[in-house]
Amino acid sequence: MMARRNFIRVLGGGAIVAAGAALAVPRLDAMPASAIEGWSGPKTEERDPRRRAIAWAMLAPNPHNMQSWLVDLKRPDEIVLHVDRDRLLPETDPFGRQIVVGQGAFLELLSLALAAEGYRADIVLFPDGEFAMDRIDGRPVARVRLAKDAALKVDPLFAQIPRRRSTKTPYEGRPLTEAHRQALIVVHNAASALPLGFAVSDGRAGDLRDIATKASDIEMNTPRTHKESIDRLRIGAAEIAAHRDGLVLRGPGVWFGRQFGLVTHEKAMTPGTTAWQGGRDYILAPYANATSFGWIAAPSHGRSAQVLAGRAYARLNLKATELGVAMQPHSQALQEYPEMADLYRAIHKATITPESLTVQMFFRLGYAATPGPAPRRSPDSIVMG
């Protein structure tokens, strides 16, 4: 008995016990069930087709997983979509371009889900006028009227909503197949007139890989833009459960690092620390063997173009899911802050995008294991009171 107590004291109660716990409990620091319950879709008792569709639409891809959506349901048979201006990214997305693209992704999933409920979504973008190009104001992004339509068919992409991911891990070395590239083009062209481009295993793909890598480094080495991501980083299961948004860092290794103060927001902000370097490796490693990229461009002027780009991206991501193709957006080189200006020009040049158009979504494509889902808040949390 005595010997055992001494043994525990020798262990110091800290380091080695912590290590033992991390190794012994593989579910340690697991994704909290509450944070991902949304991926099962609307609650069965929910009868309002608008709320059912909103539950699906919240699974849309969106920048930094800020879920910057608000819906006004005060009028029957109508959903009015607003930007949640408490959930912007002022440093990396100073004009709110990405946030507006994320509104489009929401609208695409919303309309797929309404169709599955038997309603056509009659969408009017910016019914009170568009935001200026440099700021988001309080006017709605869209008014969606529900029209019962017996002839509606369920779009097969609807079934992909709960399976879709932004796959951020390294991909297998093999490039996007020509058959998959063609299938993505067909689905895109059927619904969108926006230019869609690809670079697969050619010199241009190499140039784009270099641009993406340099752009990520600039963002990480610019303290105010890096801080914006770190402020939205949820470290460990408890923070994830409390926020159900943002970027997540968790698992036994992260838990262990936290016990020793190695993995904290402050350390992740500080170049040279294990946490900062680990973050850089996590972001850059997937680009080392990246062979395949795609992009969607849209007119540079007008907020509706940004919404349409978001709709097109969401469709493409859903089709890729069906095909077993992994996708990850890369936004750093598209960001409109001064330190990024050279790479912003470089990515537009490499994608041969004329001045009148802006690359709205740029993404890596390939093949990889499907990761777990990212957190989502409850649908009620976006309903305006």
Positions in 259-288 near ligand FMN (CB under 6 A): none
65 lies in the site for ligand FMN, by CB under 6 A: yes
Q: Which of 98, 160, 225, 321 lies at the binding interface for ligand FMN (CB under 6 A)? A: 98
Q: Least distance in Å: CB of 54 to ligand FMN?
A: 16
Q: Least distance in Å: CB of 123 to ligand FMN?
A: 18
CB 50 within 8 A of CB 73: yes
- The binding track of 160-189 with respect to ligand FMN, each residue x by CB under 6 A or -, is -----xx-x---------------------
Q: Least distance in Å: CB of 4 to ligand FMN?
A: 47
CA nearest neighbour of 143 among 129, 122, 114: 122
Q: What contacts 315, CB < 8 A, 6 or more positions away?
A: 108, 157, 187, 188, 191, 192
Q: Least distance in Å: CB of 109 to ligand FMN?
A: 11
Tokens of 264: 């904290």
105 lies in the site for ligand FMN, by CB under 6 A: yes
Q: Least distance in Å: CB of 126 to ligand FMN?
A: 18
Which is closer to ligand FMN, CB of 328 or CB of 353? 328
Number of residues that bind ligand FMN (CB under 6 A): 18
CB neighbours of residue 35 within 10 Å? 22
Which is closer to ligand FMN, CB of 114 or CB of 212? 212
Q: Least distance in Å: CB of 168 to ligand FMN?
A: 5
Three-state SS for 133?
Answer: coil
96 lies in the site for ligand FMN, by CB under 6 A: no
Q: Which of 31, 101, 215, 365 lies at the binding interface for ligand FMN (CB under 6 A)? A: 101
CB 310 within 8 A of CB 105: yes
Half-sphere exposure of 150 (CA within 13 A, CB side): 0
Among all chains, which residue has been given the structure tokens 């698992």?
A: 251
Among left, alpha and beta (phi > 0; psi -120 to 50; other), residue 289 is alpha
Q: Least distance in Å: CB of 14 to ligand FMN?
A: 34
- The binding track of 316-335 with respect to ligand FMN, each residue x by CB under 6 A or -, is ------------xxxxx---
Torsion of CA 284, 182, 360, 103, to 10 degrees: -100
Which is closer to ligand FMN, CB of 166 or CB of 177? 166
- Evaluate the CA torsion angle 102, 330, 36, 366 in order and state its sign: positive
63 lies in the site for ligand FMN, by CB under 6 A: yes
In angstroms, the CA 167 to CA 171 distance is 9
Tokens of 120: 């056509």
- DSSP structure class, residue 374: P
- Residues near ligand FMN (CB under 6 A) are 61-65, 98, 101-102, 105, 165-166, 168, 328-332, 374
